[in-house]
Amino acid sequence: MHILYTKDTNDIDWHVLRAAFTASGLRDGRSAMQLSHSFNESQGRCFAHVENMLVGTARAVSDRTQRAYIADVWTHPTYRRRGVATSMVHALLKGLSTQHVYVFTAPLWLGLYAQFGFEIADKQLPVKSKTYLVERAPGPLE
């Protein structure tokens, strides 16, 4: 299986992506147009394709100085646990090495971010919290 990673938004069918997000449980209320705007205005983005199928997304919003936030990390269920999200997050982090980077994530995905040095930012949250804020201090990727 060959996975192609790109930054290009020209070939993205935002309606298909919106439906894929919804089917995967990402129901944040954004329309296809709003998704397009979110990705196109982000400082970093990564898309994973297998043949002509979009199988992964990730984007980064940054003040380009000190703080960045990774969002919309999604992998098609068929391609999960195959390194797709890891590759996309790694691609984003390469361009953010001088910044503090934050991600809101479900407990299930804490391991994904831990491999890049992310730690739970607010240790006061209950252990069974549905969402964690994780952060990574500036520095090179190992």
Q: Which residues of the chain have pLDDT under 70?
A: 123-130, 142
Paired sense of beta strands 100-105 and 67-75, if any: parallel
Domain that holds residue 78: 4-136
- The pLDDT value given to residue 73: 96
- The pLDDT value given to residue 126: 57
Burial (CB count within 10 angstroms: exposed 0-12, middle 13-18, buried 19+), residue 130:
exposed
Please report, for the domain that includes residue 19, its CATH number.
3.40.630.30
Measured distance CA(33)–CA(31) in Å, rounded: 5
Query: Residues 16-33: pLDDT tens digits?
Result: 999 999 998 877 889 999
As for how many domains the chain has, the answer is 1
Look at residue 142 and tell me if it is in a domain.
Answer: no
- The pLDDT value given to residue 106: 85
How many Å from the N-terminal Cα to the C-terminal Cα in the chain? 26
